Chain A
Amino acid sequence: MARDPEVEKMLAVAGVANGDLVEVTSRGKPVGGILMPHSDFSDARVIVLKLDSGYNVGLKLEAGSTLRLKEKRKARTYAGDDAAPTPRSADGRGFLALIGTGGTIASYVDYETGAVQPALTSRELATAVPEITEKYLLKPVALLSEFSENLRPEHWVKIAHEVKRQVEEGASGVIIPHGTDTLGFTAAALAFMIENPPVPIVLVGSQRSSDRPSSDASFNLMCAARVATSDIAEVVAVMHDRTGDERCAVHLGVRVRKLHASARSAFRSINTTPLAFTDGHQLEVPAGSAFRKRSEGRKVVLRDKLAQPVGLLYHYPGFPPSLLQSAIADCKGVVIAGTGLGHVSESMIEVIARATERGYPVVMTTQCVYGRTGLHVYSTGRRLTQAGVIDGGDMLSETAVVKLMWAIAHAERPHDVRAIMQRDLVGELSQRRTFEGSGEDER
């Protein structure tokens, strides 16, 4: 709620702005303090003062209250020019590129309001992560400043281009601090767009903002930097493995999903196991872990077209077929996260059949998160297959959406989409799932 106009008027008459020292008299007792910005959750007549003790208090301005300016104070500004401190190695190469995209990890707190501000400049970005700058040769680039829920596929393309530029300029690894909400989507998009990456491309986020002493940002970043200097030339996500600050897991970008709204260990490899683990110093690669090896000579090839929009529908009892119809009308392709083995209600099948008849791609995944579709087990599955649905196998529904955007854009002919979707390109699909990757311990 914004401030009440009368309160605004009182402030204006007194010549008071946020940050000024004022004295307020309401109900007899004068209270002195610094006027704080108005919070959306505060009552419209309430002003918030920061007292000498550091405590904030909310005081209601009512008829008879008086407000007086005691001292005009300059609004505090935060150092932040864009002269990025570019580290110089002997040959100008071998640095780690740090491409800021926004999110909790690349933000700092405004201690007066408590609001979390995104790091807008490269310098701010670098100062938001002081620990890794001490240990690694780092080149910060403030590319975007978005909470990840606001990111769009165009942003993925922009990030992919920046990665290419940095690698071509000599980056020996790329770290991409990212908001956690859609980190998995970006990771998948980069994996499909950047062909044969020569160096590690590491997405990293944090679940607790870096203004908190308990923030996971610092540890996650140290681990991300360790992975960025490793041999794992894949698009990966590096996040806390368990709740403790003991190790991070390295997840393949097309296989990672956020499974908890707030916990540090929210990210999990689905239908597979993490590629590696690290405590920021040691890198532990489990036996049998397979990944593309670093080869700095490899050229970065971008295949950066994405078809938009693509729909993702989550099936449930009573799902109206009309919703699918309008999705088909509005989107270039649709992924359905079906129940169980990949099922939808009978009434949907005909809608699907009509769409696929004209080459329209409808992909089926399982909403169970763990496991794969099985379209030959029940008659519904068999009928869906007959209706022309594309089997998404054990692909994450989110990865399937990103892949479908990419597949439609890169298919030479419409019916090639099916083949692309059903072929494993970068590890997003597998024929074999082991107990270890089945999430037995996660449920």
Chain B
Amino acid sequence: VEKTSVKGAAAPASPTAAAVPPAGSLKVGLEIHQQLQTGKLFCRCPSELEEHVAGTFVRRLKATKSEMGEVDQAALAETRKGRAYRYEMTPSTSCLVDADEEPPHTMNGDALKVALTMAVTGAMNIVDEVQVMRKIVVDGSNTTGFQRTALIAGGGALPMADGSAFPLESLCLEEDSARETGGQEGEVVYRLDRLGIPLIEIATAPEIHSGEQAREVAARIGALLRATKRVKRGLGTIRQDVNISVDGGARVELKGVQDLRAIPLVVDEEARRQRRLNRAGQVLQSRGVDGSALSPRTIDLTQVLAGTSAKIVRRALDAGGRVWGIPLAGFASTLGEALSDTPGTRVLGPEFSQRARVLGLGGTIHNEEGDLAKKYGFSAGEVHALRERFPLGEHDCFLIAAGPEEALEKAFKSIVERARLAPRGVVSEVRAVNDDNTTRYLRPMPGAARMYPETDVPPIGVSAKLLGDVRRELPAKPEQRLAQLVRRTGISPALADQLAQTDNVDRFDEVAYGEQDVPGLDAQAVFVVNAAIARLLLTEVAQVERERGAIWKDLRGPLVQIRDLLHQGRFPKEAVPDVFGAMVGKGLSAEAAASAFEAPRADEARALVRKIVEANADLVRSKGEAAQGPLMGLAMKELRGKVDGKTVAAWLAEEIRRLR
């Protein structure tokens, strides 16, 4: 969901908005999209994904006239291309509303309540009557061609855990899109299960000034959302878009940052990229390069390179493609690494090649990539011929690409567009995040969102009673909840924090003992069991889920059994990971796993320690107490998981003293 303008209900009337921020400034705003577990927003399907596909149908979307009676040219082009969208119907999770074959039902009241809960939590200005809008989206991800969305609240501030507040801009409740599951030439396949799942979209003010702060704010929003207990959990259920600008430059939107921990890295990478572009822009300006004067004329190099054995070009030519090139007057040093602060990272070159890739080419080649003969396998003669075709002045560059003619035409149009803007530095656009936290060009920033009222859904009054209910049922803040958890289960605040950061609080709450759960027993013993279970959640359970997917339903039972057996003293807490492994990995019953790791009788273990010390009597005599270190290693090799380390250490010390 792309936002293009400030949505605050309060008119933003800051006269200082035009003031140029100091160089070195970083402005970041977040848009968090969270799926709700309440069932879909405008039909009564569940908020679940489904693997079973009952059938498919094909639709096309048509360009519609805008408010001003104009047809959107991009949409019209899509229509003319005749792009088809194939939709997969899922029997349990989609219905005729999702297929755009039945009018939407009234808005899901539970979902609205969750949205209002968040709006109240953020002390936002809530509208008196919710008006559902249609926002035009023609990429096929909505069967209707629009997304239903409603502004619930504006303004307000996010209560941070430390008591400070972070300004918010808006909160919307909207439909999620269908999920793309495949596609081929001219056809995209979408599944209808995700379409219509409610999304809360929270946009912060662009007042975040570091990557770390962005992570903190995103984490806080996530934690507050989860505190409602009505949100979906797991991969893909929360998506973060990050808006970034540096030094008062253009805003770039990064789509779908999945991992919170990556946010600081992504922000830093993107800020560096933007500053590189600004430096290149300054160089171009200082040379008087006038973007608008740049000729879009390309040169056909197919003949020149007809016999080349440079792989990328060869492949394109063999497939019937052509090679085009374009001179870039005045661009010297801006394409390659010269102005980069990061070795191996070029400046404008990647901007061009990413655009080429989006439009179906393999990439681009330019003269600031080092030795072209070496890098791509051009012959010396070909390099010479290229240089002849592009007589380079002191400040000139050239760029070539190979591929089908149609793709070349589009790609070079896009490349020229980008080159023309290069003197300005950063270009406002939408980018995707790569696995290495760098970003790549996705598409231009969309124009103002086209929205008009969804007349099939009546407006929903936000009554005083409804707001009263929401206020009364406001969930505990995450920090209050954690404090309660620490009190109840006896784990350390640090451990509780780790559980919170890994989204394990609810699970731990489910399986941990409370003091009152084991009446008459030693609270300390209960706490020890809980701590062991918490660590199990943080490490082994997380590991298993990474490998096998979200299978909490299957893991909950074993965890409860381990907890009880541990509490009965059937095995030492050190053996918990092994017992878990035996149960979940090898499929052993709890009993069998426990027996396998049963604690040895204390006197046997004690005897083993004595035996080890005696066998190393020379060492003990020569080193004295310092022998305990190496001996501890030997002892634990035998006793790890069976006797707790502290006890072994105490025994060792005793035996060493005895021997001396």
Q: With an 8 A cutoff between CB atoms, is A112 at the interface?
A: yes
Rounded to whole angstroms, the CA-CA distance of A52 and B67 in the bound complex is: 15
Complex CA distance for A214 and B133, rounded to whole angstroms: 16
- Does B101 lie within 8 Å of A263, measured CB to CB? yes
Given contacts A114-B455, A214-B143, contact A244 B59 (CB under 8 A): yes
Residues of A within 8 A of B66 (CB): 111
Q: Is the CB of B96 within 8 A of A214?
A: no
> Do the beta carbons of B155 and A212 come within 8 Å of each other?
no
* Chain A 187-223 per-residue mask, 1 if CB under 8 angstroms from chain B, else 0: 0000000000000000000011011111100110000
Check B100 against A52 for contact (C-beta < 8 Å). no
Q: Which residues of A contact B60 (CB under 8 A)?
A: 219, 245
Nearest-neighbor residue (CB-CB) of B84 within chain A: A245
Contact yes or no, B64 A55, CB < 8 A? no
Asked if residues B129 and A55 are in contact (CB atoms below 8 Å), the reply is no
Q: Tell me which residues across on chain B come within 8 A of A23, comparing CB atoms.
A: 11
Q: Is the CB of A213 within 8 A of B64?
A: yes
Q: Are B67 and A48 within 8 A (Cβ)?
A: no
Query: Once the chains bind, are A55 and B453 in contact (CB under 8 Å)?
Result: no
Contact digits for B127-160, partner A, Cβ 8 Å, 1 yes 0 no: 1111101111010000111100111000100000
| Interface-centre pick from B75, B144, B452 (highest chain A CB count, 10 A) | B452
B131 and A55 within 8 A (CB): yes
The smallest C-beta distance from A78 to any residue of chain B, in angstroms, reads 7
By a CB distance below 8 angstroms, the chain B residues around A113 are 453, 455
B128 near A29 with CB under 8 A, answer no
Q: Which of B312-320, B360-368, B443-451, B553-561 contacts A (4 or more CB under 8 A)?
A: B443-451
CB distance from B97 to the nearest CB of A (A): 9
In the complex, per-residue mask of A78-103: 1 if CB is within 8 Å of any chain B CB, else 0:
11000000000000000000000000
CB <8 Å contact, B59 and A245: yes
Asked if A212 and B58 sit within 8 Å, CB to CB, the answer is no
Cα A78 to Cα B67 with chains together (Å): 10
Chain B hits for A109, CB < 8 A? 452
Partner of B9, one of A29, A36, A79, A246: A29
Interface of B, helix, strand, loop or mixed by DSSP:
loop
- Which residue of the partner chain B has the closest CB to A32? B11
Q: Judge whether A294 is part of the interface by a CB distance below 8 angstroms.
A: no
Which residues 20-59 of A have a CB within 8 angstroms of B? Answer: 23, 26-27, 29-32, 36, 39, 41-43, 46, 48, 51-59
Q: Nearest Cβ in chain B — how far from A272, in angstroms?
A: 25
Smallest Cβ-Cβ distance to A62: which chain B residue: B128
CB of A41 within 8 A of CB of B458, answer yes
Q: Smallest Cβ distance from B188 to chain A, in angstroms? A: 14
Smallest CB separation, B51 vs chain A (Å): 22
Contacts of B101 in A (CB 8 A): 207, 243, 262-264
Q: Does A383 sit at the interface, judged by CB under 8 A? A: no
Q: Are B455 and A115 in contact (CB under 8 A)?
A: yes
Instruction: Kindly name the residue among B3, B9, B103, B138 whose own CB sees the greatest number of chain A CB atoms within 10 A.
Output: B9
Q: Which residues on A sit within 8 Å (CB–CB) of B125?
A: 27, 29, 31
CB A387 to nearest CB in B, in angstroms, measures 43
Asked if B127 contacts A59 (CB within 8 A), the reply is yes
B62 touches A215 (CB 8 A): yes
Q: Given A55-B131, A211-B64, are A29 and B10 neighbors across the interface (CB < 8 Å)?
A: yes
Assess A59 versus B128: contact at CB under 8 Å? Given A211-B64, A212-B145, A213-B136: yes
Taking a contact as CB atoms closer than 8 A, the residue among B3, B11, B130 that contacts A58 in the complex is B130
Is A303 in contact with chain B by the CB < 8 A criterion? no
Contacts of A218 in B (CB 8 A): 62
Residues of A within 8 A of B75 (CB): 213
Q: A29 CB to closest chain B CB, in angstroms?
A: 5
- Given contact pairs A113-B453, A213-B138, A56 touches B155 in the complex (Cβ within 8 A): no
6 more A-B residue pairs beyond the given contacts A52-B11, A112-B452, with a C-beta to C-beta distance below 8 A: A39-B459, A43-B129, A57-B127, A108-B65, A130-B71, A214-B59
A sample of 8 inter-chain contacts (CB < 8 A) reads A29-B155, A30-B11, A43-B129, A43-B461, A58-B127, A127-B65, A212-B146, A214-B61
